[in-house]
Amino acid sequence: MDYLQLNEMKFFAYHGVNEQERIVGNTYLVNLKLSLDMSKACQSDQLEDTLNYAKVYKQVAAVMHIPCNLIEHLAEKICRQLRHTFPEIQGIEVKVKKCHPPIVGIMESAEVILER
């Protein structure tokens, strides 16, 4: 199986259960591991024969723009959007990391990982 990985896509967005999170916002990191057949692109060296990761990024950015309560829900929305837009994706792993979540204590991040 061939994989395309997009690492540490950084977004500032307004997700969260707490009202304050929806007002102040936070930094989120998204990582993708997409499985697909890249054999044609390996031979042709042509962009149209592979998955254009600039277009993938735009789809993720569009989903990140719409507030959600939970990062679990957000990750699922990213999976669904990518599978709908790019049917050549055979499998997907998405990681959504919320940086410095608002808790009583010190935590660098909270992250969910979905595989579809």
Tell me the per-residue pLDDT of 34-88, one tens digit each, with 9 for 90 and over. 999 999 999 999 999 999 999 999 999 999 999 999 999 999 999 999 999 999 9
Rounded-to-integer distance, Cα 27 and Cα 59, Å: 18
Structure tokens given for 38 = 């890249």
Does the pLDDT of residue 103 top 90, yes or no? no
Does the pLDDT of residue 1 top 90, yes or no? no
Whole-model pTM? 0.94
Active site residue 77: no
Domain 2-115 has CATH 3.30.70.260: no
Q: Of residues 77, 95, 97, 98, which has the active-site annotation? A: 98
Q: 87-99 in b/e burial notation, b at 16+ Cβ within 10 A?
A: eebeebbbbbbbe
